Amino acid sequence: MTDFDPVIGLEVHAELLTRSKMFCGCAVVDSTAAEPNSSVCEICSGMPGSLPVINQRAVEYALRVALALNCSIAETSVFARKNYFYPDLPKGFQITQYEFPLATDGWIEIDDPSAPVSSKRVRIRRVHLEEDTGKLVHRERHSLVDYNRSGVPLLEIVSEPDLGSADQARLYSLSLRSLLRYLEVNSGDLEKGVMRFEANVSLRPAGSVELGTRTEIKNLNSFRALSRSIEYEIDRQATLLRSGKPVAQDTLGWNEEQQITVSQRSKEEAHDYRYFPEPDLPPLHIDETWVEQIRADLPELPAVKRARFMSEYGLNAYAAGVLTAERSTAAFYEAAIESSQGTSPVKIANWLSGDLFGLLNEAGVEIDQSKVTSEALAGLVALVETGQISAASGKAVLDVLFAEGGSPESVVEKEGLAQVQDQAAIRLIVEQVLSNNPDQVSEYLAGKPALSEWFVGQIMRETRGKADPARVRTELDAALLALNDQEQSQSGR
């Protein structure tokens, strides 16, 4: 589209992996698995007279994220009541941060793996803490409410309208997910609803700097829904604008079955949440030394690790992105390099991100649970690279390691996969194949050099693929050269 540029800003909600809830001592449980209403008390069910207490660990996790997002931390932030009525909100208000959020003005680099070093910086407007709501479960003729999720610490991360396409929005949310998992504050299990997205979408004439009227798509629970709904909304708004009609500011939902956005409420019916400071909680003062301690304890973050993998191990941007998306994968890779004694890190990366990832995905196994240890992978790659086994045998060995564990050397020995390296043995087979195929030899000598590939094939077949192809070629070339010399001297030249 050249006539209009899309403008997108995202609001991301992420549950924090604390042990207890935001303002009470109830355990945070897996709300897709636990017995409904099994982790609820008078505070998170909103009984009159109950008093909230701020969960320090939740604040710490929020600070981790805010610092990793390069935000400024507010010395004092304030919790506020956002008033509205809904059955999943027993208090009739949600405690959130409004005028004075925990952190503001940050940024994150997002990488587009299809374009080498094209890091794009997306500005973060604010990061604040709030509490999650309960959950409605709709049965045939009635709805049930489960308050296990009510009061679970929730982080809201709001971007500036810096994203220019559905794909950038997807990359941004993938980068955030990766970051939250690196920081160990969120599991990233979107199918359990621990990360949810809202997309604000508008169009403006190409090249213009003024923002157009936006619509907001609520409750997006997957990366697919996120990008599909944004694409749909861009098309819908473009069609309106091209025919001279305005876009109405609107709150939309995403209809998964029909793959369309649907209006939920218009600007006229917009909520008035009547925010006011939460009278039952003091302002939140953040101690500077605590912040510095959290900053110092941050792990190496995905973007930094990715750049280091490129410069230190010679990986291309794509491979480095794949190997650093998860902290566990990156750790496995570096452990393999550590134990490899000089095998090319690029080769190890290829075996890891190609063959081993393939097996892990197929079996639905996480790398930490893999029976293939980093040491075994490094050993396997070394066996292939030094020609002790063929690449094809290497894959067979990996299959066995994946199913049974153990060391690559023992698998090679047990399965008899070692390549014939013995020069004399190879020479013998070469001579045999040449003397068994006199017609092809004459043709070759008469000027058909391409036949040498055919001879290699015959020799490999003779050794059932176990000869080192490089040695086969050396021996074959020598033997053919000798035959050529012989013939020339016979013909008297």
Would you say 23 and 55 are in contact if contact means Cβ atoms under 8 Å apart? yes
Residue 83 CB contacts under 8 Å (≥ 6 apart), including other chains: 92, 93, 273, 274, 275
Residue with tokens 């609520």: 218
Closer to Zn ion by Cβ: residue 131 or 156: 131
Out of Zn ion, ligand ADP, none, what residue 41 binds, judged by CB under 5 to 8 A for its kind, is: Zn ion
Q: Which is nearer to ligand ADP, 8 or 310 (CB)?
A: 8
Binding residues among 397-456 for ligand ADP as defined by CB under 6 A: none
For 226-280, strand residue ranges (E) read 250-255, 260-266, 276-277
Cβ proximity to Zn ion, 90 vs 302, nearer residue? 90
Of 286, 278, 273, 277, whose CA–CA distance to 103 is shortest?
286
Distance set, CA 480 to CA 214, 434, 483 (Å): 75, 9, 5
Nearer to ligand ADP, 98 or 444 (CB): 98
- Nearer Cβ to ligand ADP, position 168 or 202? 202
Site for ligand ADP (CB under 6 A): how many residues? 16
Indicate whether 227 belongs to the interface with ligand ADP (CB under 6 A): no
CB of 264 to ligand ADP, least distance (A): 13
Q: Are 231 and 220 in contact (CB under 8 A)?
A: no
Site for Zn ion in 6-45 (CB under 5 A): 24, 26, 41, 43-44
Mark residue 259 as left, alpha or beta (left: phi above 0; alpha: psi -120 to 50; beta: remaining). left
Please state the closest distance from residue 162 (CB atom) to ligand ADP, in A.
7
* 423-436 vs 451-462: helix crossing angle, rounded to 10: 120
Question: Given the rule CB under 6 A, which of 47-55, 155-163, 378-386, 461-469 is the region that contacts ligand ADP?
Answer: 155-163
**Sign of the alpha-carbon torsion through 60, 66, 67, 69:** positive
When asked if residue 160 is in the footprint of ligand ADP (CB under 6 A), the reply is: yes
Give the Å distances, CA to CA, from 100 to 108, 229, 275, 285: 22, 31, 12, 12
- Work out how close the CB of 13 gets to ligand ADP at its nearest, in angstroms, rounded to a whole number: 12
Of residues 9-28, those binding ligand ADP (CB under 6 A): 9-11
Q: Which does 226 bind (CB under 5 to 8 A by kind): Zn ion, ligand ADP, none?
A: none
> Closest separation between CB of residue 415 and Zn ion, Å?
57
Q: Does residue 5 belong to the site contacting ligand ADP (CB under 6 A)? A: no
- 159 sits near ligand ADP (criterion: CB under 6 A): yes
Q: What is the 3-state secondary structure (H, E, C) of 330-350?
A: HHHHHHHHHCCCCCCHHHHHH
Residue 353's identity, in one-letter code, is S
Site for ligand ADP in 175-204 (CB under 6 A): 200-202
How many residues lie near Zn ion (CB under 5 A)? 5
Q: Find the angle CA(4)-CA(256)-CA(220) to the nearest 5 degrees.
A: 70
Nearer to ligand ADP, 52 or 212 (CB): 212
Are the CB atoms for 40 and 147 separated by under 8 Å? Answer: yes
Helix or strand (DSSP H, E) at 89: none
User: Shortest distance, CB of residue 134 to ligand ADP, whole angstroms?
Assistant: 21
Least distance (Å) between residue 42 CB and Zn ion: 7
Q: Which residues bind Zn ion (CB under 5 A)?
A: 24, 26, 41, 43-44
Q: Which residues bind ligand ADP (CB under 6 A)?
A: 7-11, 158-161, 200-202, 211-212, 214, 216
